[in-house]
Structure 1
Amino acid sequence: MTGFDRRTFVAGLAMAGLITGGGRRARADDLPGVTDAEIKIGSTTSLSGPVSALGIQARCQDAFFRMVNEAGGIAGRKITYIYYDDGFSPPRTVEQTRRLVESDGVAFLFNTLGTAPNSAIVKYLNQKKVPHLFLSVNGDKWGDYKTNPWTMGFAPSARIEAQIFAKHALQQNPSVKFAILYQNDDLGKDYVAGVRDVLQGSFEKQATTVPHEVSDPTVDSQIVQLKQSGADVLLSGTTAKFVAQSIKRVYELQWKPTHYIANGAASIAGVLIPAGAERSTGVIASAYLKDATDPTWADDAGTKEYVDFLAKYFPDGKMNDSYILYAYTVAGVLMKVLEQCNGTFTRENIMKQATSLKDLQMPTMLPGILVNTSPTNYHPIRQVQLQRFDGAAWKRFGGIIEGAEI
């Protein structure tokens, strides 16, 4: 099986004996969160608070696991998915995570949301040796397998994304000069680090960096400063509000750099249209998932499966909501991990299989983008395809680009 497909997934599990429970049973005391009938999975998310829109990811995954259970579950066990609202507040994340581990007795945590919430629980989970899988974050530190061997991110990190932007810019002009607007936190600093990885000794000569604080009302003065550097390329390594501001200010200054923006701020409805379609025309972002609304994928089997899933199991979901597509995709990757466990669901084996994914092509990922992990690679996705906004929609171009080895 190369990726998650509902029909082939169910058939494959049945042939392997996983639905009927053909795997070896371990002693109950070796299997927290696992019985002959169920596997308990836990998560924290933001159903309230400043980023409550992201809570739809957990709701989608709840529907996804319901679909899996209707197909017979995993190794004869149904998935019990428990997720709690933390309001994007780290102290509440700590409280709810302890509840999941110590009261609910989950086997592992899956797709917990947010950098600050995950930072508050990562040490606890690693001390407890609880798998902390496929976090909904984009910081590079979540690939640090030496410090946190029980924790793994999922999407391309900001550092990998910046590496890819830099590689593409240098392909166009090896002597290009970079201007980097970055948020003065882990996210923004990853964008600076990614460009430095590629430029190496030429970084000081070819790059100008200007930070901003999340409390700043605007980044207008920073964009003026970066324009004065004479750069040919602008990388806005920041969050949605400030990316929109940078697009507006670049246009007002009649500056015409090649403008790369963070994937997390690539929303047409949330960023580009508010910034102005004309102003946003030409900006470049990265992509690794198929857009279900793109006519390119109208006859694509993986996209049809996704659309069918929405219709049957998650009718409140919108096809153009990238958060839902992401949630569906990462849940499919988790199913591959549990399939590879072959009925042995100790925490150690779950983590072993999570770090043993080889050239996995998910049906909702762009062709050629593969999921790969190993005991020394906790960055499941290191490849993207670039896309350019044409004033109405994103248009992909070029081939698959992979992040630099560091």
Structure 2
Amino acid sequence: MRVFGFVFFLAGALLAAVDVSQAQKQYGPGVSDTEIKIGQNAPFSGPGSSYGFQYRVMAAYLDALNARGGVNGRRILLIQKDDGYSPPKTAEVIRQLVENEDVLAIVGSFGTPTNAAIQKYLNLKKVPHLLIQSGASRWNDPEHFPWTTPYSPFYVGEGRAIGHFLLEEYGGKKIGALYQADDVGRDFMKGLREGLKAEAPTMIVKEANYQATDPTIDSQIVALKSAATDIVFLAAQNRFAAQAIRKIAELGWKPQIISTSIANSVKEVLVPAGEAASTGLISTTSYKTPSDPALRSDAGVQEYLSFLSKAFPGHDPDDIAAIRGFSVMEAAAEILRRCGDNLTRENVLKQATNLRGLRLSLLMEGVTIQTAPGDYSAIRQIQLIRFDGEKWVKLRELIDDE
């Protein structure tokens, strides 16, 4: 009897241990002991395709991470679906990811109009909609859309910083603005006016906009030149910013060009526009310049350079698309790491909205992720930079939009 009693006691203890072990692991859709499944829409085709390389980098980052054991022993499976930068297609592929692929979360999805097309759906489904690749201020609305979180500096804040700079350095000069006719352009213009303060009505003498599907913006640039503007403010995506810079040069016109952070890729904007035509252009960033010799001992930069040389040999390390892709997935992996074995959608959101003070490898010194439950804004510091014909150089110290 004693033997049987001991056996029953031991069996009970083992069952209890298993129950405790299982209780500690809480999984949402797309999660197992070995895998975490996430998804995203990506612009591999269509008018936003010049941003597609950023998404190839994201996938490569996770491949490298998985080769080292993944996160907490689980590989991260990223399912990417091309939406052609078309909101109806975005809605379609996101439904597929949520309802057919059972992803845990949508991470790093691209574009303002495309994310706007899925925001309400993902919030109704209570699916984390994280690290959006758009700086529209609408993503910081925890009261109405608690499942949606931004990543990029807000366009309004960036426009405001540029406005302050122009007021100080170019007070009284005439500004012509070209902007995308959606929330992207409207946010940038709102910020620009706020930064220029009372001078905005007199300094902004001409505005022109375009649709993302337009073939060219040549006529808009001619209109800005006809208004005798001294400064051209481009709140335009890569292809249109490159067209604008090139057209300005063709016209023999020499205004000061300001291109926002959404179009400051050397590879995708400045080289196609012509490096000579782009020399002197001003923009903003929150990232280090990985090729800077002063960063040779920077561990984060060295990790990135090692990754890039293996995944994309010969690629320009200062390419903003590569930098952003690496950084977004570094943040995503950290969110999942903090979840531990509680990989429910609720806990993923909790971790994503409590990142205050998080430092990423390629963010500038002094720039950290700042998400908090009541304020989802992530990156709040930017720096003005100028293109010297070969690379970006610092123009001003960090500006904090708080």
- Determine the C-alpha separation between the residues in 1 that align with 2:170 and 2:312: 47
1:293 corresponding residue in structure 2? 291
2:71 corresponding residue in structure 1? 74
2:374 corresponding residue in structure 1? 376
After TM superposition, the structure 1 = structure 2 runs for residues 59-208 of structure 1, keeping only pairs within 5 Å, are: 59-172=56-169, 178-208=175-205
Which of 239, 244, 262 pairs up with 2:260?
A: 262
Instruction: Confirm or deny: 8 A CA contact 1:23 1:343 kept in the other structure.
Output: no
For each residue in 1:50-99, what CA deviation from the matched residue of structure 2 results, as whole angstroms up to 9, or x when unmatched?
44453333333233223333433333333222222333333332232222
CA change 1:171–1:317 in 2 (3 A) is same
Amino acid paired to 2:205: T
Amino acid paired to 2:397: G
Provide the secondary structure at the position in 2 that maps to 1:398: coil
Which protein shows a greater Rg? 2
Instruction: Confirm or deny: 8 A CA contact 2:385 2:392 kept in the other structure.
Output: yes
Say how many residue pairs are matched: 381
For each residue in 1:246-285, what CA deviation from the matched residue of structure 2 results, as whole angstroms up to 9, or x when unmatched?
4345456666544211222223343333433333221101
Amino acid paired to 1:306: Y
Unaligned ranges ≥5, structure 2: 1-20
2:329 corresponding residue in structure 1? 331
- Determine the C-alpha separation between the residues in 1 that align with 2:217 and 2:43: 27
Indicate yes or no: 2:60 matched with 1:25.
no
Compute the TM-score of the two structures, normalised by the length of structure 1.
0.82
Unaligned ranges ≥5, structure 1: 1-21
Residue 341 of structure 1, CA deviation? 2.4
Instruction: Confirm or deny: 8 A CA contact 2:50 2:268 kept in the other structure.
Output: no
Which moves more between the two structures, 331-340 or 248-257?
A: 248-257
Instruction: Confirm or deny: 8 A CA contact 1:23 1:75 kept in the other structure.
Output: no
Provide the secondary structure at the position in 2 that maps to 1:44: strand
Provide the secondary structure at the position in 1 that maps to 2:148: coil
CA change 1:150–1:174 in 2 (3 A) is same
Amino acid paired to 2:262: G
CA change 1:34–1:225 in 2 (3 A) is same
Provide the secondary structure at the position in 2 that maps to 1:378: coil
Residue 182 of structure 1, CA deviation? 1.9
- % same residue: 38
Instruction: Confirm or deny: 8 A CA contact 1:356 1:374 kept in the other structure.
Output: yes
CA change 1:219–1:65 in 2 (3 A) is closer
Which moves more between the two structures, 76-85 or 122-131?
A: 76-85
Residue 344 of structure 1, CA deviation? 1.8
Instruction: Confirm or deny: 8 A CA contact 2:288 2:362 kept in the other structure.
Output: yes
CA RMSD of aligned residues (A): 3.0
Which moves more between the two structures, 37-46 or 225-234?
A: 225-234
- Determine the C-alpha separation between the residues in 2 that align with 1:162 and 1:23: 50
Residue 183 of structure 1, CA deviation? 2.5
Provide the secondary structure at the position in 2 that maps to 1:399: coil
For each residue in 1:108-152, what CA deviation from the matched residue of structure 2 results, as whole angstroms up to 9, or x when unmatched?
111122233322221110100100111222333223333322112
Instruction: Confirm or deny: 8 A CA contact 1:24 1:343 kept in the other structure.
Output: no
Amino acid paired to 1:129: K
Amino acid paired to 1:338: L
After TM superposition, the structure 1 = structure 2 runs for residues 171-320 of structure 1, keeping only pairs within 5 Å, are: 171-172=168-169, 178-214=175-211, 219-220=217-218, 222-223=220-221, 225-226=223-224, 232-248=230-246, 250-251=248-249, 256-312=254-310, 314-315=311-312, 318-320=315-317
Instruction: Confirm or deny: 8 A CA contact 2:87 2:113 kept in the other structure.
Output: yes
- Determine the C-alpha separation between the residues in 2 that align with 1:137 and 1:127: 21
CA change 1:23–1:365 in 2 (3 A) is farther
Amino acid paired to 1:162: G
- Determine the C-alpha separation between the residues in 2 that align with 1:196 and 1:153: 23
- Determine the C-alpha separation between the residues in 2 that align with 1:140 and 1:120: 15
Instruction: Confirm or deny: 8 A CA contact 1:280 1:391 kept in the other structure.
Output: yes
- Determine the C-alpha separation between the residues in 2 that align with 1:363 and 1:23: 35
1:354 corresponding residue in structure 2? 352
